[in-house]
Amino acid sequence: MTPEQTGTTPAVSTEQHIEMTERYAAHNYHPLPVVLASGEGAWVTDVDGKRYLDCLAGYSALNFGHSHPQLVERARQQVGTLTLTSRAFFNDQLGPFAQALAELTGKDMVLPMNSGAEAVETAIKVSRRWGYEVKGVPEDQANIIVMEGNFHGRTTTIISFSDDKVAHDNYGPYTPGFRAVRYGDIDSLRAAIDDFTVAVLFEPIQGEGGVVVPPEGFLRELRAVCTEENVLMVADEIQSGLARTGTTFACDLEDVVPDMYVLGKALGGGLYPVSAVAANTDVLGVITPGSHGSTFGGNPLAAAIGHEVCRLLATGEYQERARRLGARLLAGLEPLVGHGLDAVRVRGLWAGLDVTPGGPTGRELCERLMERGILAKDTHGMTIRLAPPLVITEDEVDMLVAAVRESLTA
């Protein structure tokens, strides 16, 4: 009997899936040749039944792993109850989520959106409006300081201040109002600030750049400068936040509190796009009805999942796991410097590895890791990033380190 007669779906091979995707989907990504079909915890399985340790975790969106039972159950309950209402009305999930996230961040209020890029756009809008209405910057004169090597998303405004040629080029004319300074250089940052500066937008750790860590003390100095100059300190913690670095936020590593947190990725638990900015009333209070919004921002399903994520983070379990297992990851990777790697940067369960020239490229190293059952992602040619779900075990960390060691010499 044919599959149609039996009511079954014919199997589609890896090659067919790749061919369909390449044929019908725009080529804005260059994936490794693996087609994933299911996931649980730190592991994913492809359409051929092969399992892989997921060491990218959706760029930190999957901090709690695939199909976390508590998150899945909460989402299942909400899907069957109420998924979307216009913000023209209240819903019974947004208030509890907003309170939980405000308490987690230590801020007065939050503004929920969907994607991380939308949260960054929101932070830019809030910063400019605060500059005009609170700081008293003349109309259309506000500027925002950003960092070289930044990655905040790919909307038109955001790529206007990106120095990544692939993300930036051929999308002009570009949005003005941004000044780029060297990442981690407090003197160049101080020199760039003037009376019209309203904010400094930065990543506490530059994830897309290869887990680039600023010099010790930079965040504390940045906080001091922003306070002194009456400039908003806006921390993009979309990748670095929510337990990834061993603390709830990467800013916590230097005991620094920014004026505004920009959050996303893990806030949706790997189930649903959820993002937000969090700030005190004197900053976020500049937003008024009709001045900013989103059809799906703050919808009941997103709020329910985000609230559950806040509950998970409130236990401290995931922060502790990232600290403990990150130390194990660092201890395993450091001896590889000089033996295939030029540098290793680790903060919590987040690592950037610079491959020694003459060895495999970043892409080639990821392909070798894939053959050994490890999924990772390259960036900027000779660097790869590792960001396994925080539910990874000690044995799985050791497996990852062994695979990197073997792949460097394969």
- Do 394 and 272 share a domain, yes or no? no
Query: What's the pLDDT tens digit per position in 192-216?
Result: 999 999 999 999 999 999 999 999 9
pTM score of the predicted model: 0.97
Inter-residue contact 366 to 48 (CB < 8 Å)? no
Is 347:253 a contact under the CB 8 Å cutoff?
Answer: yes
Residue 332's domain is classified under what CATH number? 3.90.1150.10
Residue 396 has pLDDT above 90, yes or no: yes
pLDDT over 90 (residue 71): yes
pLDDT at 223 > cutoff 90: yes
CB 330 within 8 A of CB 344: yes
Residue 182: inside a domain: yes
170 pLDDT more than 70: yes
Domain tally for the chain? 2
Q: Quick one: pLDDT band at residue 261, thresholds 50, 70, 90?
A: very high
| CATH number for 222 | 3.40.640.10
Give me the pLDDT at residue 1, please: 45
Residues 104 and 172 in one domain: yes
* Residue 9 confidence (pLDDT): 60
Please indicate, yes or no, if residue 8 is contained in any of the structural domains: no
**End-of-domain residue from the set 281, 315, 349:** 315
| CB contact at 8 A, 55 and 260 | no
Domain identity same for 233 and 345? no
User: Does residue 37 sit in the same domain as residue 83?
Assistant: no
Which of 299, 315, 331 is the C-terminal boundary of a domain? 315
What residues are labeled active site?
Answer: 151, 236, 265
Contacts of 337 (CB under 8 A, 6+ apart): 343, 344
Are residues 217 and 264 both part of a single domain? yes
Say if residue 88 is in the same domain as residue 154. yes
Mark whether 260 and 340 lie in a shared domain.
Answer: no
Helices (H), 44-155: 57-60, 69-79, 94-105, 116-130
Percentage helix, strand, coil for the chain under 3-state DSSP, each rounded to 5: 40, 20, 45
Domain co-membership, 278 together with 227: yes
Q: Is residue 4 part of a domain?
A: no
Domain boundary among 260, 294, 315: 315
Containing structural domain, residue 397: 14-60+318-409
* Residue position matching structure tokens 């996931």: 39
Mean pLDDT of the chain: 97
Distant-in-sequence, close-in-space partners of 287: CB < 8 Å, separation ≥ 6: 111, 126, 129
Maximum CA pair distance of the chain? Answer: 77
Average pLDDT over residues 352-381: 97
Over the stretch 72-95, which tens digit does the pLDDT of each residue have?
999 999 999 999 999 999 999 999
> Could you read off the pLDDT of 104-124 as tens digits, one per residue?
999 999 999 999 999 999 999
Given a cut of 70, whether residue 2 has pLDDT beyond it is: no
